[in-house]
């Protein structure tokens, strides 16, 4: 029997998600040692996690299954988030990605509104779950939320709304009053705050008022543990209970659990790196705008979207890559002239600037 007979009918229409490539593969492709690559393409914290996080993993009981109820983790996260959030309102996941998938599996709507340009996983996971994504473009130039267009999408049948604040890849954040206006719509409202530690106003105070609001967060960006995959949802306790009921029982593994709790415990140390990254974001903007052909969009995040003027953005990304500097380009019409660059350490910015100067000479 041919396996194709047993596949879902829409399998041909599923697009593969294009994640970033592993460093060793890139190093091989570029012909440079891994240690010489400057990784500014995935918004990781290049300072890494503090020693206390590694110590916690070293001491963990890795031979025992994790707690499916995530009790210690949920309590620690609720304390970290504040705003009156209780552990019953927290659901941990294998990264925020896991929770996006879980929300689709729990709701299974026909259509979802995705405010774009956006993180690609919303549409990707919608399609995997047979949910049709409807793109709601942000306003041209500023990439501000087009609230009327979003309202139209909800009126047209979108039962879930995905929006990100600060947004990836544009960097701009939502005001809490804008978030409130969205929560008043007749839809489940997902506000992805993956980058909230770097700036912007959290919608968390609205959780007490709106049971249709779900906030997504992650330890991947601020805490330096993207490799461990820990994210969480904040929502109504009833909705959280349902998410807990249908998730993979052991979705937050033992190493991830203890590392996330150690990160919370040692957050003062990690926030020093967050502050350094925010400062470096400013320095990067000044240096790159000084080159005369890159224009920064205001960013409340740990990356900046730059408009490339007078040359091809795609060619710039290629030229940087040849020199071992990795940044992000999006092959879509609304971002064709832009590149997204993560904030790194001062030495990363220095390598970036030197490489951009080389690119400009060509």
Q: HSE-up of 65 (CA within 13 Å, CB side)?
A: 7
Cβ closer to ligand PMP: 123 or 168?
168
The least CB distance from residue 335 to ligand PMP, in Å, is 14
Burial level of 7, CB count in 10 A (0-12/13-18/19+)? exposed
Cβ closer to ligand PMP: 17 or 271?
17
Q: Report the residue number whose CB is nearest to ligand PMP.
A: 95
The least CB distance from residue 73 to ligand PMP, in Å, is 14
The least CB distance from residue 43 to ligand PMP, in Å, is 6
| Residue 289 vs residues 168, 174, 326: alpha-carbon distances, Å | 20, 25, 19
- Judged by the rule CB under 6 A, the positions of this chain that interact with ligand PMP are 43, 95-97, 119, 164, 168, 192, 194, 218, 220, 226, 231
The least CB distance from residue 216 to ligand PMP, in Å, is 6
Cβ closer to ligand PMP: 149 or 226?
226
The least CB distance from residue 198 to ligand PMP, in Å, is 12
The three-state DSSP-derived secondary structure of the chain is CCHHHHCCHHHHHCCCCCCCCCHHHHHHHHCCCHHHCEECCCCCCCCCCCHHHHHHHHHCCCCCCCCCCCHHHHHHHHHHHCCCCCHHHEEEECHHHHHHHHHHHHHCCCEEEEEECCCCHHHHHHHHCCCEEEEEECCCCCCCCCHHHHHHHHHCCCCEEEEECCCCCCCCCCCHHHHHHHHCCCCEEEEECCCHHHCCCCCHHHHHCCCCEEEEEECCCCCCCHHHCCEEEECCHHHHHHHHHHCCCCCCCHHHHHHHHHHHHCHHHHHHHHHHHHHHHHHHHHHHHHCCCEEECCCCCCEEEEEECCCCHHHHHHHHHHCCEECECCCCHHHCCEEEEECCCHHHHHHHHHHHHHHHHC
Cβ closer to ligand PMP: 191 or 308?
191
The least CB distance from residue 214 to ligand PMP, in Å, is 13
Cβ closer to ligand PMP: 87 or 95?
95
The least CB distance from residue 259 to ligand PMP, in Å, is 13
Cβ closer to ligand PMP: 281 or 359?
281
Cβ closer to ligand PMP: 20 or 106?
20
Cβ closer to ligand PMP: 119 or 124?
119
The least CB distance from residue 71 to ligand PMP, in Å, is 21
């Amino acid at each position: 029997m041919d396996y194709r007979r047993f596949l879902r009918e829409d399998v041909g229409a599923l697009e593969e998600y294009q994640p970033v490539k592993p460093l060793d593969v890139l190093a091989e492709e570029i012909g440079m040692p891994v240690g010489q690559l400057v990784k500014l393409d995935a918004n990781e914290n290049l300072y890494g996690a503090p020693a206390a996080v590694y110590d916690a993993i070293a001491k963990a009981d890795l031979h025992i299954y994790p707690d499916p109820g995530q009790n210690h983790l949920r309590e620690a996260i609720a304390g970290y988030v504040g705003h009156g959030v209780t552990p019953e309102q927290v659901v941990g996941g294998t990264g925020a990605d896991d929770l996006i998938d879980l929300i689709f599996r729990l709701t299974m709507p026909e259509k979802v509104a995705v405010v774009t340009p956006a993180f690609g996983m919303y549409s990707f996971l919608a399609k995997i779950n047979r949910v049709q994504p409807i793109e709601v473009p942000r306003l041209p130039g500023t990439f501000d939320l087009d609230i009327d267009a979003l309202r139209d999408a909800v009126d047209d049948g979108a039962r879930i709304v995905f929006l990100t604040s600060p947004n990836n890849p544009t960097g701009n954040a939502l005001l809490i009053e804008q978030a409130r206006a969205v929560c008043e719509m007749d839809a489940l409202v997902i506000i992805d705050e993956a980058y909230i530690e770097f700036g912007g106003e959290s919608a968390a105070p609205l959780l007490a008022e709106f049971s249709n609001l779900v906030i997504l967060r992650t330890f991947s960006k601020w805490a330096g543990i993207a490799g461990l995959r820990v994210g969480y949802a904040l929502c109504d306790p009833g909705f959280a209970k349902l998410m807990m009921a249908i998730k993979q029982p052991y979705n937050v593994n033992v190493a991830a659990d203890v590392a996330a709790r150690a990160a919370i415990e040692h957050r003062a140390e990690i926030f020093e790196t967050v502050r350094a990254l925010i400062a470096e974001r400013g320095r990067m903007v000044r240096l790159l705008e000084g080159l005369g052909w890159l224009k920064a969009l205001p960013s409340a995040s740990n990356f900046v979207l730059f408009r490339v003027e007078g040359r091809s953005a795609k060619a710039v990304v290629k030229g940087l890559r040849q020199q071992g500097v990795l940044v992000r380009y999006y092959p879509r019409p609304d971002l064709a002239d832009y590149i997204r660059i993560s904030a790194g350490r001062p030495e990363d910015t220095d390598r970036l600037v030197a490489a951009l100067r080389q690119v400009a000479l060509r």
